[in-house]
Amino acid sequence: MPDLQTLLHLSSSHHTHLCPRQVLGVRMGMFAGEILDLNLPQTKKRLLAIVETDGCFADGVETATGCTVGHRTLRVEDYGKIAAVFVDTQTARAIRLAPRLDVRERARLYAPQETRHYFAQLEGYQVMPADELFTIQEVALTTPVESLVSRAGVRVNCALCGEEIINEREIVREGLTLCHACAAPAYYQPIHAPAGVWAILPILESVGD
């Protein structure tokens, strides 16, 4: 694995500066590789990272691990937390790493000359021992890795909107194969269209009677 400073330089190249959350993301990804005994950044698709927020923290994790959205090895479950689950897809072992609750105070002990909180964190996070920086939990995914990763080449079409659905993300309701947007409230709402399948289900049910 490249050293910390090399990874931090690479992560900061995507931004205008290096910030404490990038450091946490890089350190977390490096620590996950140590725990799972994986050579990172990866060149294959063995490690799956699920980050619990987006932004610069996620960029740090991506830089250290080689997990990317494009390779379908990086996912975001937006809980608004600086935390991530790392899954070895060959062994199904999964760990969740998060900063310790007192990590900001601990960081100041490692940068005693720095009176500004932000810069004390920026410096402290780089030199703190990983076990002082993060908590470690062994976890089990509620959705099997196989379902998350899916299979290449599998595709169906939504019975309502007609759009193609890949990666086995379809939902079956009332015998219909549907996309998420048509099956339940979506993150967007068409201005001039019915609100998903729930707008027509009563009609379908009455026809069935």
Spatial separation of the C-alpha atoms in residues 88 and 167, rounded to whole Å: 20
Give the pTM.
0.85
Spatial separation of the C-alpha atoms in residues 60 and 4, rounded to whole Å: 11
What pLDDT does 157 receive? 96
Q: Could you give all domains of the chain from N- to C-terminal order, each with its CATH number? A: 4-148 (3.30.1330.130), 150-208 (no CATH)
Tokens of 128: 């703190």
C-beta contacts of 103-111 below 8 A and 24+ residues apart: 103/133, 106/132, 106/133
Residue 13 has pLDDT above 90, yes or no: no
Q: Tens digit of pLDDT for each residue in 66-120?
A: 999 999 999 999 999 999 999 999 999 999 999 999 999 999 999 999 999 999 9
Beta partners for residue 74, in sequence order: 49
What pLDDT does 207 receive? 46
What pLDDT does 68 receive? 96
Where in the chain does DSSP place strands (E)?
Answer: 47-51, 74-76, 84-88, 94-99, 134-139, 155-157, 164-166, 171-173, 176-178
Tokens of 85: 């689950």
Q: What number of other Cβ atoms are within 10 A of residue 13's Cβ? A: 11
Spatial separation of the C-alpha atoms in residues 28 and 96, rounded to whole Å: 10
Tokens of 91: 């062994």
Residue 203 has pLDDT above 60, yes or no: no
Spatial separation of the C-alpha atoms in residues 119 and 32, rounded to whole Å: 25
